[in-house]
Amino acid sequence: MSATQNNGQNGMRARIRAKLRKKKYIILQRYLRGFYLSFVLILFVTLLGVVGFMLIEDYSLVEAFYMTVITLSTVGYTEVKPLTDTGRIFTSFLIIANLGTFAYAISNLTTYIIDGNLKRMIQEYSLQSNIDKLKGHVILCGFGRYGAEVVKHFKLHKVPFVIIEASAAVADKIQEKGDLLYLHGDATHDEVLEMAGIRQAKSLITTLPDDAENVYVSLTARQMNPSLRIISRALSQKSEAKLKLAGANEVITLEEMGGFFMATLIGKPDLVTFFRILSYETSASVSLEEIGFEHLPDDNSPLTIRQLNIRENSGASVIGLKTLSGDYIVNPSPETVLKRGMQLFVLGNHDQILKFQELWTKVKQQ
Protein backbone atom coordinates (compact mmCIF):
# COMPACT_ATOMS: atom_id res chain seq x y z
CA MET A 1 0.00 0.00 0.00
CA SER A 2 1.38 3.41 -0.98
CA ALA A 3 2.18 6.22 1.44
CA THR A 4 -0.60 8.31 -0.10
CA GLN A 5 -3.18 5.57 0.62
CA ASN A 6 -1.89 5.20 4.18
CA ASN A 7 -2.13 8.94 4.74
CA GLY A 8 -5.66 8.93 3.30
CA GLN A 9 -6.78 6.10 5.59
CA ASN A 10 -5.16 7.73 8.64
CA GLY A 11 -6.89 11.01 7.80
CA MET A 12 -10.26 9.24 7.48
CA ARG A 13 -9.78 7.47 10.83
CA ALA A 14 -8.90 10.80 12.45
CA ARG A 15 -12.07 12.41 11.04
CA ILE A 16 -14.20 9.48 12.27
CA ARG A 17 -12.68 9.72 15.77
CA ALA A 18 -13.33 13.48 15.80
CA LYS A 19 -16.98 12.92 14.84
CA LEU A 20 -17.42 10.32 17.58
CA ARG A 21 -15.94 12.68 20.17
CA LYS A 22 -18.27 15.43 18.96
CA LYS A 23 -21.33 13.19 19.34
CA LYS A 24 -20.49 12.42 22.96
CA TYR A 25 -19.63 16.05 23.63
CA ILE A 26 -23.13 17.04 22.48
CA ILE A 27 -24.64 14.68 25.09
CA LEU A 28 -22.46 16.05 27.88
CA GLN A 29 -23.15 19.62 26.81
CA ARG A 30 -26.92 19.05 26.86
CA TYR A 31 -26.91 17.87 30.48
CA LEU A 32 -24.06 19.96 31.89
CA ARG A 33 -25.12 23.29 30.39
CA GLY A 34 -26.54 24.38 33.76
CA PHE A 35 -23.28 23.50 35.51
CA TYR A 36 -21.30 25.49 32.97
CA LEU A 37 -23.45 28.55 33.63
CA SER A 38 -23.21 28.07 37.40
CA PHE A 39 -19.42 27.88 37.16
CA VAL A 40 -19.29 31.00 34.99
CA LEU A 41 -21.49 32.93 37.44
CA ILE A 42 -19.41 31.87 40.45
CA LEU A 43 -16.21 32.78 38.61
CA PHE A 44 -17.71 36.16 37.62
CA VAL A 45 -18.77 36.99 41.21
CA THR A 46 -15.33 35.95 42.48
CA LEU A 47 -13.51 38.12 39.94
CA LEU A 48 -15.90 40.96 40.69
CA GLY A 49 -15.09 40.69 44.40
CA VAL A 50 -11.32 40.55 43.82
CA VAL A 51 -11.31 43.54 41.48
CA GLY A 52 -13.73 45.51 43.70
CA PHE A 53 -11.69 45.07 46.87
CA MET A 54 -8.48 45.94 45.04
CA LEU A 55 -9.95 49.15 43.63
CA ILE A 56 -12.10 50.25 46.57
CA GLU A 57 -10.00 49.15 49.56
CA ASP A 58 -6.59 49.11 47.87
CA TYR A 59 -6.05 45.46 48.83
CA SER A 60 -3.29 43.38 47.33
CA LEU A 61 -4.30 40.52 45.03
CA VAL A 62 -3.90 37.93 47.80
CA GLU A 63 -5.80 40.04 50.31
CA ALA A 64 -8.60 40.74 47.82
CA PHE A 65 -8.92 37.08 46.93
CA TYR A 66 -8.96 36.03 50.58
CA MET A 67 -11.56 38.66 51.46
CA THR A 68 -13.73 37.59 48.51
CA VAL A 69 -13.58 33.92 49.55
CA ILE A 70 -14.54 34.50 53.18
CA THR A 71 -17.32 36.87 52.06
CA LEU A 72 -18.83 34.50 49.51
CA SER A 73 -18.48 31.47 51.78
CA THR A 74 -19.98 33.42 54.74
CA VAL A 75 -17.54 31.76 57.18
CA GLY A 76 -17.40 34.93 59.28
CA TYR A 77 -13.64 35.39 59.55
CA THR A 78 -12.25 38.78 60.54
CA GLU A 79 -11.81 41.34 57.77
CA VAL A 80 -8.31 41.71 56.36
CA LYS A 81 -8.49 45.44 57.03
CA PRO A 82 -11.29 47.63 58.33
CA LEU A 83 -13.69 48.45 55.50
CA THR A 84 -14.71 51.92 54.46
CA ASP A 85 -18.40 52.78 53.99
CA THR A 86 -18.01 52.27 50.27
CA GLY A 87 -16.36 48.90 50.93
CA ARG A 88 -19.22 47.85 53.22
CA ILE A 89 -21.81 48.75 50.55
CA PHE A 90 -19.83 46.84 47.92
CA THR A 91 -19.55 43.81 50.24
CA SER A 92 -23.30 43.87 50.89
CA PHE A 93 -24.11 43.79 47.18
CA LEU A 94 -21.49 41.08 46.68
CA ILE A 95 -23.20 38.90 49.31
CA ILE A 96 -26.63 39.47 47.68
CA ALA A 97 -25.24 38.53 44.28
CA ASN A 98 -23.65 35.44 45.78
CA LEU A 99 -26.95 34.34 47.33
CA GLY A 100 -28.59 34.27 43.88
CA THR A 101 -25.63 32.50 42.30
CA PHE A 102 -25.44 29.93 45.09
CA ALA A 103 -29.19 29.26 44.91
CA TYR A 104 -28.96 28.72 41.14
CA ALA A 105 -26.03 26.31 41.54
CA ILE A 106 -27.83 24.30 44.24
CA SER A 107 -30.94 24.14 42.04
CA ASN A 108 -28.89 22.73 39.14
CA LEU A 109 -27.23 20.18 41.40
CA THR A 110 -30.58 19.08 42.82
CA THR A 111 -32.09 18.72 39.34
CA TYR A 112 -29.05 16.84 38.15
CA ILE A 113 -29.09 14.24 40.93
CA ILE A 114 -32.62 14.00 42.34
CA ASP A 115 -34.55 14.41 39.06
CA GLY A 116 -32.46 11.70 37.40
CA ASN A 117 -30.48 13.81 34.93
CA LEU A 118 -27.26 12.13 36.05
CA LYS A 119 -28.72 8.68 35.36
CA ARG A 120 -30.11 9.79 31.99
CA MET A 121 -26.78 11.31 30.96
CA ILE A 122 -24.93 8.08 31.78
CA GLN A 123 -27.55 6.06 29.88
CA GLU A 124 -27.39 8.29 26.80
CA TYR A 125 -23.60 8.32 26.86
CA SER A 126 -23.57 4.51 27.06
CA LEU A 127 -26.17 4.24 24.26
CA GLN A 128 -24.15 6.56 22.03
CA SER A 129 -21.00 4.52 22.66
CA ASN A 130 -22.84 1.36 21.55
CA ILE A 131 -24.32 3.14 18.50
CA ASP A 132 -20.86 4.32 17.49
CA LYS A 133 -19.75 0.69 17.29
CA LEU A 134 -22.42 -0.16 14.70
CA LYS A 135 -21.56 -0.61 11.05
CA GLY A 136 -23.82 -1.78 8.26
CA HIS A 137 -26.85 -1.24 10.51
CA VAL A 138 -30.36 0.04 9.86
CA ILE A 139 -31.70 3.38 11.09
CA LEU A 140 -35.41 3.34 11.95
CA CYS A 141 -37.07 6.75 12.11
CA GLY A 142 -40.23 6.60 14.21
CA PHE A 143 -41.39 4.02 16.76
CA GLY A 144 -45.12 4.11 16.11
CA ARG A 145 -47.27 1.11 15.23
CA TYR A 146 -45.35 0.35 12.05
CA GLY A 147 -41.96 1.07 13.54
CA ALA A 148 -42.68 -1.29 16.44
CA GLU A 149 -43.60 -4.03 13.95
CA VAL A 150 -40.33 -3.46 12.09
CA VAL A 151 -38.40 -3.72 15.36
CA LYS A 152 -40.10 -7.03 16.18
CA HIS A 153 -38.86 -8.60 12.95
CA PHE A 154 -35.40 -7.05 13.27
CA LYS A 155 -35.03 -8.63 16.70
CA LEU A 156 -36.17 -12.01 15.37
CA HIS A 157 -33.56 -11.93 12.62
CA LYS A 158 -30.87 -10.23 14.75
CA VAL A 159 -30.56 -7.23 12.42
CA PRO A 160 -28.48 -4.43 14.01
CA PHE A 161 -30.50 -1.22 14.19
CA VAL A 162 -30.97 2.07 16.00
CA ILE A 163 -34.26 3.93 16.53
CA ILE A 164 -34.74 7.69 16.25
CA GLU A 165 -37.83 8.89 18.12
CA ALA A 166 -38.89 12.52 18.62
CA SER A 167 -41.59 11.94 21.25
CA ALA A 168 -40.30 12.00 24.84
CA ALA A 169 -43.15 9.74 26.01
CA VAL A 170 -42.40 7.13 23.34
CA ALA A 171 -38.65 7.40 24.01
CA ASP A 172 -39.35 6.61 27.69
CA LYS A 173 -41.26 3.48 26.63
CA ILE A 174 -38.32 2.42 24.45
CA GLN A 175 -35.99 2.94 27.40
CA GLU A 176 -38.18 0.77 29.61
CA LYS A 177 -37.65 -2.14 27.22
CA GLY A 178 -33.96 -1.96 28.08
CA ASP A 179 -32.60 -3.85 25.05
CA LEU A 180 -33.01 -1.33 22.21
CA LEU A 181 -30.55 1.24 20.89
CA TYR A 182 -32.32 4.55 20.38
CA LEU A 183 -31.88 8.30 20.13
CA HIS A 184 -34.38 10.83 21.44
CA GLY A 185 -34.37 13.44 18.70
CA ASP A 186 -35.81 14.72 15.45
CA ALA A 187 -34.81 12.60 12.45
CA THR A 188 -35.14 15.63 10.16
CA HIS A 189 -32.09 17.19 11.85
CA ASP A 190 -28.68 16.44 10.36
CA GLU A 191 -26.94 16.15 13.73
CA VAL A 192 -29.39 13.46 14.91
CA LEU A 193 -28.81 11.36 11.78
CA GLU A 194 -25.08 11.86 12.30
CA MET A 195 -25.37 10.57 15.87
CA ALA A 196 -27.26 7.53 14.55
CA GLY A 197 -24.26 6.66 12.35
CA ILE A 198 -25.85 7.56 9.01
CA ARG A 199 -22.53 7.38 7.15
CA GLN A 200 -21.83 3.81 8.36
CA ALA A 201 -25.44 2.60 8.02
CA LYS A 202 -26.62 0.15 5.36
CA SER A 203 -30.28 1.18 5.23
CA LEU A 204 -32.79 3.66 6.61
CA ILE A 205 -36.49 3.15 7.19
CA THR A 206 -38.66 6.19 7.86
CA THR A 207 -42.16 5.56 9.24
CA LEU A 208 -42.97 9.08 10.39
CA PRO A 209 -46.69 10.01 10.40
CA ASP A 210 -46.16 12.99 8.08
CA ASP A 211 -45.23 12.53 4.41
CA ALA A 212 -43.47 15.90 4.35
CA GLU A 213 -41.18 14.74 7.17
CA ASN A 214 -40.51 11.46 5.39
CA VAL A 215 -39.56 13.42 2.24
CA TYR A 216 -37.19 15.62 4.24
CA VAL A 217 -35.58 12.65 6.02
CA SER A 218 -35.11 10.83 2.70
CA LEU A 219 -33.57 13.89 1.07
CA THR A 220 -31.21 14.57 3.97
CA ALA A 221 -30.17 10.93 4.38
CA ARG A 222 -29.46 10.58 0.65
CA GLN A 223 -27.18 13.62 0.73
CA MET A 224 -25.31 12.34 3.79
CA ASN A 225 -24.91 8.78 2.47
CA PRO A 226 -25.37 8.37 -1.32
CA SER A 227 -25.14 4.55 -1.12
CA LEU A 228 -27.77 4.22 1.61
CA ARG A 229 -30.86 2.10 0.89
CA ILE A 230 -33.90 4.15 1.93
CA ILE A 231 -37.37 2.72 2.50
CA SER A 232 -40.15 5.16 3.32
CA ARG A 233 -43.72 4.92 4.47
CA ALA A 234 -46.25 7.01 2.54
CA LEU A 235 -49.68 7.96 3.80
CA SER A 236 -50.81 9.12 0.37
CA GLN A 237 -50.07 7.69 -3.06
CA LYS A 238 -49.55 11.26 -4.25
CA SER A 239 -46.40 11.40 -2.10
CA GLU A 240 -44.78 8.36 -3.71
CA ALA A 241 -43.22 10.27 -6.60
CA LYS A 242 -41.91 13.00 -4.27
CA LEU A 243 -40.36 10.46 -1.92
CA LYS A 244 -38.57 8.68 -4.78
CA LEU A 245 -37.40 12.02 -6.13
CA ALA A 246 -36.06 12.84 -2.65
CA GLY A 247 -33.97 9.66 -2.70
CA ALA A 248 -36.14 6.81 -1.39
CA ASN A 249 -35.41 3.47 -3.06
CA GLU A 250 -38.74 1.97 -2.04
CA VAL A 251 -41.99 3.64 -0.99
CA ILE A 252 -44.58 1.60 0.89
CA THR A 253 -48.17 2.78 0.64
CA LEU A 254 -49.93 0.97 3.44
CA GLU A 255 -53.36 0.92 1.81
CA GLU A 256 -51.95 -0.59 -1.38
CA MET A 257 -49.85 -3.13 0.47
CA GLY A 258 -52.70 -4.12 2.76
CA GLY A 259 -55.13 -4.45 -0.13
CA PHE A 260 -52.72 -6.62 -2.10
CA PHE A 261 -52.09 -8.84 0.92
CA MET A 262 -55.80 -9.34 1.64
CA ALA A 263 -56.63 -10.06 -2.00
CA THR A 264 -53.80 -12.62 -2.19
CA LEU A 265 -55.10 -14.31 0.95
CA ILE A 266 -58.38 -14.95 -0.89
CA GLY A 267 -56.81 -16.47 -3.99
CA LYS A 268 -53.67 -18.11 -2.57
CA PRO A 269 -53.98 -18.33 1.24
CA ASP A 270 -51.59 -21.25 1.73
CA LEU A 271 -48.92 -19.63 -0.44
CA VAL A 272 -49.12 -16.43 1.61
CA THR A 273 -48.84 -18.37 4.85
CA PHE A 274 -45.86 -20.30 3.49
CA PHE A 275 -44.14 -17.10 2.43
CA ARG A 276 -44.71 -15.56 5.88
CA ILE A 277 -43.11 -18.60 7.48
CA LEU A 278 -40.11 -18.34 5.15
CA SER A 279 -39.66 -14.61 5.63
CA TYR A 280 -40.45 -13.97 9.29
CA GLU A 281 -40.46 -17.02 11.51
CA THR A 282 -37.01 -17.97 12.77
CA SER A 283 -38.40 -21.12 14.40
CA ALA A 284 -39.53 -22.50 11.03
CA SER A 285 -37.77 -25.57 9.60
CA VAL A 286 -37.07 -23.74 6.32
CA SER A 287 -35.69 -20.32 5.57
CA LEU A 288 -35.44 -18.06 2.53
CA GLU A 289 -32.30 -15.95 2.45
CA GLU A 290 -30.98 -13.23 0.16
CA ILE A 291 -27.25 -13.38 -0.56
CA GLY A 292 -25.45 -10.40 -2.09
CA PHE A 293 -22.40 -10.80 -4.32
CA GLU A 294 -20.03 -7.98 -3.54
CA HIS A 295 -16.75 -9.89 -3.80
CA LEU A 296 -16.16 -12.08 -6.84
CA PRO A 297 -13.12 -13.27 -8.80
CA ASP A 298 -11.99 -11.02 -11.63
CA ASP A 299 -13.50 -11.22 -15.13
CA ASN A 300 -10.76 -13.60 -16.31
CA SER A 301 -12.20 -16.38 -14.14
CA PRO A 302 -16.01 -16.07 -14.25
CA LEU A 303 -17.98 -17.96 -11.62
CA THR A 304 -21.23 -19.78 -12.42
CA ILE A 305 -23.94 -21.13 -10.14
CA ARG A 306 -22.95 -24.67 -11.10
CA GLN A 307 -19.35 -24.09 -9.96
CA LEU A 308 -20.56 -23.18 -6.46
CA ASN A 309 -22.13 -26.66 -6.10
CA ILE A 310 -24.59 -25.19 -3.66
CA ARG A 311 -26.94 -28.15 -3.58
CA GLU A 312 -24.15 -30.74 -3.18
CA ASN A 313 -22.09 -28.78 -0.65
CA SER A 314 -24.82 -27.34 1.54
CA GLY A 315 -28.15 -28.94 0.67
CA ALA A 316 -29.72 -25.51 -0.01
CA SER A 317 -31.40 -24.68 -3.31
CA VAL A 318 -31.16 -21.60 -5.52
CA ILE A 319 -34.70 -20.48 -6.39
CA GLY A 320 -34.13 -16.99 -7.77
CA LEU A 321 -31.67 -14.37 -8.99
CA LYS A 322 -31.74 -10.59 -9.27
CA THR A 323 -29.66 -9.34 -12.22
CA LEU A 324 -27.67 -6.14 -12.47
CA SER A 325 -30.50 -4.55 -14.46
CA GLY A 326 -32.98 -5.25 -11.65
CA ASP A 327 -34.76 -8.15 -13.38
CA TYR A 328 -35.72 -11.25 -11.39
CA ILE A 329 -35.09 -14.74 -12.73
CA VAL A 330 -36.95 -17.67 -11.15
CA ASN A 331 -34.99 -20.93 -10.99
CA PRO A 332 -31.92 -19.55 -12.86
CA SER A 333 -29.84 -21.80 -15.08
CA PRO A 334 -26.79 -23.47 -13.47
CA GLU A 335 -24.70 -21.89 -16.23
CA THR A 336 -25.65 -18.37 -15.14
CA VAL A 337 -22.48 -16.29 -14.62
CA LEU A 338 -22.49 -14.49 -11.31
CA LYS A 339 -21.39 -10.86 -11.32
CA ARG A 340 -20.67 -8.30 -8.66
CA GLY A 341 -23.92 -6.64 -7.53
CA MET A 342 -26.22 -9.59 -8.21
CA GLN A 343 -28.50 -11.06 -5.54
CA LEU A 344 -29.11 -14.79 -5.10
CA PHE A 345 -32.19 -16.20 -3.31
CA VAL A 346 -31.49 -19.45 -1.50
CA LEU A 347 -34.00 -21.82 0.14
CA GLY A 348 -33.08 -24.30 2.85
CA ASN A 349 -33.27 -25.12 6.53
CA HIS A 350 -31.21 -23.31 9.14
CA ASP A 351 -28.21 -25.66 8.95
CA GLN A 352 -28.20 -25.62 5.15
CA ILE A 353 -28.21 -21.84 5.04
CA LEU A 354 -25.31 -21.73 7.49
CA LYS A 355 -23.34 -24.21 5.37
CA PHE A 356 -23.97 -22.09 2.28
CA GLN A 357 -22.78 -18.94 4.06
CA GLU A 358 -19.61 -20.77 5.09
CA LEU A 359 -19.16 -21.92 1.49
CA TRP A 360 -19.57 -18.39 0.19
CA THR A 361 -17.08 -17.08 2.77
CA LYS A 362 -14.47 -19.51 1.45
CA VAL A 363 -15.17 -18.41 -2.15
CA LYS A 364 -14.64 -14.76 -1.21
CA GLN A 365 -11.32 -15.58 0.43
CA GLN A 366 -9.96 -17.29 -2.69
Q: What angle do CA 167, 134, 19 make, to 5 degrees?
A: 80
Given this model, what pLDDT does residue 217 score?
Answer: 95
List the chain domain ranges. 18-118, 134-259, 285-365
Rounded Cα distance, 9 and 265, in Å: 53
Q: Whole-angstrom Cα distance, residue 27 to residue 33?
A: 10
The confidence score (pLDDT) of residue 354 equals 79
Strands (E) in the chain, as ranges, are 138-141, 161-165, 182-184, 203-206, 229-234, 250-253, 287-292, 303-304, 317-322, 328-330, 337-338, 343-348
Fold topology of 18-118: Helix Hairpins (1.10.287)
The verdict on domain 285-365 having CATH code 3.30.70.1450 is: yes
pTM, full prediction: 0.60
Residue 182 class from Cβ within 10 Å (0-12 exposed, 13-18 middle, 19+ buried)?
Answer: buried
CATH class of 134-259: alpha beta
Give the model confidence (pLDDT) of 39-93 as tens digits. Answer: 888 888 889 999 998 999 889 999 899 888 888 887 767 777 888 889 889 988 8
Distance CA(316)–CA(309), nearest Å, equals: 10
pLDDT of residue 74: 75
pLDDT, residue 13, reads 47
All residue ranges of the chain with pLDDT < 70 are 1-34, 76, 112-120, 276-286, 294-301, 362-366
